[in-house]
Amino acid sequence: MTPDDQRFLLVGAGLFVLGAIGFLTRRNLILMVLSAELMLHGVSLTLVTFGQMHQTNEGQAFTIFTLTVAACEAGLALSLVLALYRQSHSLDISMWSELREPDAVSPNSDGPDGVSAEVAPGYDHLPTLTPAGLVPKDPVRSSATAGKTASARS
């Protein structure tokens, strides 16, 4: 690995990490989509550099597939943004923290910045998840009842 290739790999890693930071910290839906695209740029640059190091065209062929997947992702993400905006009339991702399970800690309450979601009035009908993880039944009894119902059915 020559230093020339190495610094291209470093720039690719830097782009990926910047996109990850943007995806994790920003609260705007459109900016999150753009950050994911930035991560894909970093990966593409790394793939092209690998192809150059190995003297094959495979890296560039792979990058073309990455480009295809990025186009699909952008289309789906933007239509999702439209659908979510219709429901909440805001691009704030924290409006959708209601989708978490009820016993989970709210992502808005523990932030060091005291970030809180701005829930618009009149939009409390948004969908919520039912609590996951029912209490498991006693396996012996449940198998016994299952056997009973099976025998009754036969």
Partner 1 sequence: MTEWLRNYPTAVAGLVLWAIGLIWLMPGRSATAPRAQTLGLLITAAGLITFCFSCGKPQAELADEVMFWLFGVGALLCGVLMITARNPVYAALWFALATLSTCGLFLLQSAPFLAAATIIVYAGAVIVTFLFVIMLAQQSGAAGYDRRSKQALPAIVSAFVLLGAITFTLQSDTPTIDIPEPVAQSDRSTSESRDMAALPAELIAVVPAVAPVAPNALSKADSDHPVGNMKGLGRSLFGDYLFAVEIAGTLLLVASIGAIAIAPRREQGAL
Residues near 20 by Cβ (< 8 Å), separated by ≥ 6?
35, 39
Instruction: Kindly tell me which of 80 and 146 has the beta carbon lying closer to partner 1.
Output: 80
User: CA angle, 88 as apex, 106 and 86 as ends, to 5°?
Assistant: 145
Q: Letter for the amino acid at 28?
A: N
Smallest distance, partner 1 to C-beta of residue 130, A: 23
Nearer to partner 1, 79 or 149 (CB): 79
What do you get for the CA distance between the two ends of the chain, in Å?
Answer: 71
Rounded to a whole number of angstroms, the minimum distance from the CB of residue 142 to partner 1 is: 39
Looking at residues 120 to 149 of the shown chain, list those that interact with partner 1 (rule: CB under 8 A): none
Residues 89-118 interacting with partner 1 (rule: CB under 8 A): 90-94, 107-108, 111-113, 115, 118
> Is 119 a binder of partner 1 (CB under 8 A)?
no
Question: How would you class 105 by CB atoms within 10 Å of its CB: exposed for 0-12, middle for 13-18, buried for 19 or more?
Answer: exposed
DSSP 46: H
User: Taking CB under 8 A as the criterion, which residues in 25-84 touch partner 1?
Assistant: 25-28, 30-31, 33-35, 37-38, 41, 44-45, 48-49, 51-58, 60-61, 63-65, 67-76, 78-83
Question: Token pair of 84, please?
Answer: 């979510």
Does residue 17 touch partner 1 according to CB under 8 A?
A: yes
